[in-house]
Amino acid sequence: MESLKNKFDGKKVFLTGHTGFKGAWATIWLTSLGAKVTGYSIEPPSEPSLYQVAGIADLVETDHRDNLTNNDALFQALKKADPDLVLHLAAQSVVSVGYDEPYETLNTNVMGTASLLEAVRKLNKPCSVLCITSDKCYENIEQVWGYRESDSFGDSDPYGGSKGCAEIVINFYRKSFFPVDKVGDHGVAVASARAGNVIGGGDWKKNALLCDAYRYLSSNEPIQIRNPGSFRPWQHVLQCLSGYLTIASKLLVDNKENYCSGWNIGPLPGSELSVADVIDKFIEAWGSGDWIDVSSPDQKREANILRLSIDKAIWELDWKPAWTIDEGIYHTADWYKKYMEGDSPLTLCQQQIAGYEKAMSAVSTSKAI
């Protein structure tokens, strides 16, 4: 698998959502690769937050605080950053919050994406844009095989629907204003990436499986879970970020038009796990604990089965997961345990990034799956 070394050195990156979990990890990784990161986001989504404890404010060139839908503020920040790459991670990312706040979820995930792409259009300069959506953008018909990039968008819950709408917005902006066959003229390369359920140390938002598991275990309480039999394409945050950064690196090269499309980033086929399996493995890595099922008949609807096909990423990006899900769960538990023991959160992230980069270099370039 191709290394990310030297791909971002000196590149100016405009990163939305840098105060969030994935955004903070992305900032740490990008700056370690020599990128100059400008962050644009609302306040951190939790207390504590990885942004706070890892000192992300000290890593970015400029730290903007505002909503994506504040069009003038967004455009002025983008113009000042003069980016080579725009990495759009900002989102309302929790399914249950989508039910509680459907309008806010649509506004952030759909209109926020439109606002960003409109700012890029008005910027009127060459740059590459990678917008992150979700595996839940697909119309989920509970099929047992993985969804492909050509499958239909749309879902039956506000969060999934918002991500499907965001993909439609990305697609019509690309076709109308940044056509792929004319990238050589306008210089704007636009792609999207869709990843599954992400785990990793430093996540404190509510209603995320291993974040909640950490809270219960650190308080010596049994972990409360819903839908223990539901299957998801779980992956460590560094696995999905390695996919994002691989796509982004391709958008920065001369033949960028080959990568202006949607991409699935997930685990290898057959490595999806149920909620119960993930919790069992997390408890094993933690060293103690148990869980109880608190599912109820009137709880909000979520998909029972969700799988992604990553064939396209394997064949066209030469990308593969470098850690198994067991390794990802272990490193998540290890991060939280060492954090509780007083280790530096930034150092923990940097050490795990170095470990993942080493694993990437060892992944076979064979495309057979």
Percent of the chain with pLDDT over 90: 78
Residue 368 lies in a domain: no
pLDDT exceeds 70 at position 129:
yes
pLDDT exceeds 70 at position 301:
no
pLDDT exceeds 80 at position 305:
no
Q: What is the pLDDT of residue 270?
A: 75
pLDDT exceeds 80 at position 8:
yes
As a whole number, mean pLDDT of residues 73-81 equals 98
Domain of 326, in residue numbers: 12-362
pLDDT exceeds 50 at position 369:
no
- 300: pLDDT confidence band, cut at 50, 70 and 90? low
As a whole number, mean pLDDT of residues 313-334 equals 95
pLDDT, tens digit (0-9, with 9 covering 90-100), for 185-197: 999 999 999 998 8
pLDDT, tens digit (0-9, with 9 covering 90-100), for 94-109: 888 899 999 999 999 9
Strand partners, 265: 195
| Alpha carbons 232 and 275: distance in angstroms, whole number | 8
Q: If you count them, how many residues does the chain have?
A: 369
- 339: pLDDT confidence band, cut at 50, 70 and 90? very high
pLDDT exceeds 60 at position 365:
no
As a whole number, mean pLDDT of residues 314-331 equals 95
| Alpha carbons 63 and 56: distance in angstroms, whole number | 9
pLDDT exceeds 60 at position 347:
yes
| Alpha carbons 250 and 248: distance in angstroms, whole number | 5
Residue 367 lies in a domain: no
φ, ψ for residue 76 (rounded to 5)? -65, -40
Q: What is the pLDDT of residue 260?
A: 97
pLDDT exceeds 70 at position 304:
no
pLDDT exceeds 70 at position 287:
yes
Extract the tokens encoding 205: 């938002």
Residue 285 lies in a domain: yes
- 303: pLDDT confidence band, cut at 50, 70 and 90? low
CATH number at residue 68: 3.40.50.720
- Strand pairing category for 188-195 and 262-265: parallel
Specify whether the CB–CB gap between 223 and 291 falls below 8 A.
yes
Interhelix angle 275-286/209-218, rounded to 10 degrees, is 40
pLDDT exceeds 70 at position 86:
yes
- 155: pLDDT confidence band, cut at 50, 70 and 90? confident
| Higher-scoring residue by pLDDT: 115, 211 | 115
Cα torsion 183, 184, 185, 189: sign? positive
Residue 246 lies in a domain: yes
**What is the residue type of 107?**
N
Residue 46 lies in a domain: yes
As a whole number, mean pLDDT of residues 280-304 equals 83
Residue 1 lies in a domain: no
Percent of the chain with pLDDT over 70: 96
| DSSP-assigned states of every residue in 135-198 | GGGB-----SSPBPTTSPB--SSHHHHHHHHHHHHHHHHHHHHS-GGGHHHH-EEEEEEEE--E
- 295: pLDDT confidence band, cut at 50, 70 and 90? confident
Residue 369 lies in a domain: no
| Alpha carbons 86 and 192: distance in angstroms, whole number | 11
Q: What is the pLDDT of residue 368?
A: 46
DSSP state of 56: G
As a whole number, mean pLDDT of residues 295-313 equals 77
Strand partners, 8: none
Q: What is the pLDDT of residue 364?
A: 64
Report the alpha-carbon angle 249-255-259, nearest 5: 60
Residue 279 lies in a domain: yes
As a whole number, mean pLDDT of residues 299-326 equals 86
Task: Report the number of distinct structural domains present in the chain.
Answer: 1
pLDDT exceeds 70 at position 34:
yes
Q: Which of 338, 326, 327, 85 is nearest to 202 (CA)?
A: 338
Residue 186: C-alpha distances to residues 130, 172, 180 (Å): 16, 16, 10
| Alpha carbons 207 and 197: distance in angstroms, whole number | 12
pLDDT exceeds 70 at position 31:
yes
pTM of the model: 0.94
| Higher-scoring residue by pLDDT: 269, 237 | 237
Q: What is the pLDDT of residue 1?
A: 77
Torsion angle (degrees, nearest 10) of CA 74, 78, 79, 80: 110
**What is the residue type of 3?**
S
Average pLDDT, the chain: 92
pLDDT exceeds 70 at position 310:
yes
